[in-house]
Amino acid sequence: FGHLGFLANARNAYGFVSFIIFATAVSDVAAFTFGKIFGRHPLRSEISPNKTWEGALGAFGVAMILPWLLRFSFPFFGTRELILTGLIVGIGGQLGDLSISVIKRDIGTKDMAATIPGHGGILDRIDSLICTAPLFMHMAGYYYPLR
């Protein structure tokens, strides 16, 4: 989460930090919703049996649309940066979610739902952000000076 701290001290901090947290959360909700409604094909059942390809594709689609809908967060981003931002949230969110699922399964604490009933626990709320925040910070820093 050091990357979020770095973004919080950057120029345009409010737009950057608000966007990446909000977009990652919306993408997670989209994955859950699309997976529940349309989910038929497991993504990686040995890692996380409830994740589906349909949920992942739904999250990816939403993540690709969000940068255009929330463009006011960073009006200086061009088409290339908006596409990269969507890819970061769409792919990075899924990678973060699956990576933390593997770690939790390896240490035997797969079910952490007791901490936040109905949401799978604190780690399930931030697992995607663990991957999207660093990727977004480095992409934004590559194209625009953050200080």
- Cβ neighbors of 5 (< 8 A, separation 6 or more) are none
What distance in Å separates the CA atoms of residue 25 and residue 94, rounded to the nearest whole number?
A: 12
**Distance from chain centroid for Cα 101:** 14
Domain count of the fold of the chain: 1
Looking at the whole model, is its pTM more than 0.85? yes
pLDDT by residue, tens only, the chain of 147 residues? 688 888 888 888 888 899 999 999 999 999 999 999 999 999 988 888 889 999 999 999 999 999 999 988 887 899 999 999 999 999 999 999 999 989 888 888 766 655 555 556 677 778 999 999 999 999 999 988 887
Q: Which domain holds residue 10?
A: 2-143
What separation, in Å, do the N-terminal and C-terminal C-alpha atoms of the chain show?
18
